[in-house]
């Protein structure tokens, strides 16, 4: 079960894909940068590139999935 913080507006603005550097009308949030001392920014990708990005995981889960050996 996932809890979403806030819902996006009805219509998202056109974003540039961080992978193929192309503008897309259906941006997919693939990564969130949280600024330590300032406002963070979001990384968007087009629907075609979104699957290539790793799923948004918490830092705790990432640490737990450390490779051994």
Which residues contact Zn ion (rule: CB under 5 A)?
17, 19-20, 46, 49
- Between residues 21 and 68, which has the closer beta carbon with respect to Zn ion? 21
In whole angstroms, how far apart are CA 54 and each of 45, 49, 51, 58? 12, 11, 7, 12
- Between residues 32 and 62, which has the closer beta carbon with respect to Zn ion? 32
The CB-of-68 to Zn ion minimum distance in angstroms stands at 34
The CB-of-53 to Zn ion minimum distance in angstroms stands at 10
- Between residues 41 and 52, which has the closer beta carbon with respect to Zn ion? 52
- Is 20 in a helix, a strand, or coil? coil
CA-based nearest residue to 20, from 56, 47, 42 = 47
Q: What are the φ/ψ torsions at residue 11 (nearest 5 degrees)? A: -125, 120
The CB-of-47 to Zn ion minimum distance in angstroms stands at 8
């Amino acid at each position: 079960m996932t809890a979403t913080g806030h819902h996006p507006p009805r219509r998202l603005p056109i974003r540039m894909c961080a992978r193929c550097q192309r503008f897309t009308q259906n941006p997919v949030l693939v990564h969130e940068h949280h600024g330590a001392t300032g406002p963070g920014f979001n990384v968007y990708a087009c629907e075609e590139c979104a699957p290539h990005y790793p799923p948004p995981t918490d830092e705790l889960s990432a640490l737990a999935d450390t490779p051994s050996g």
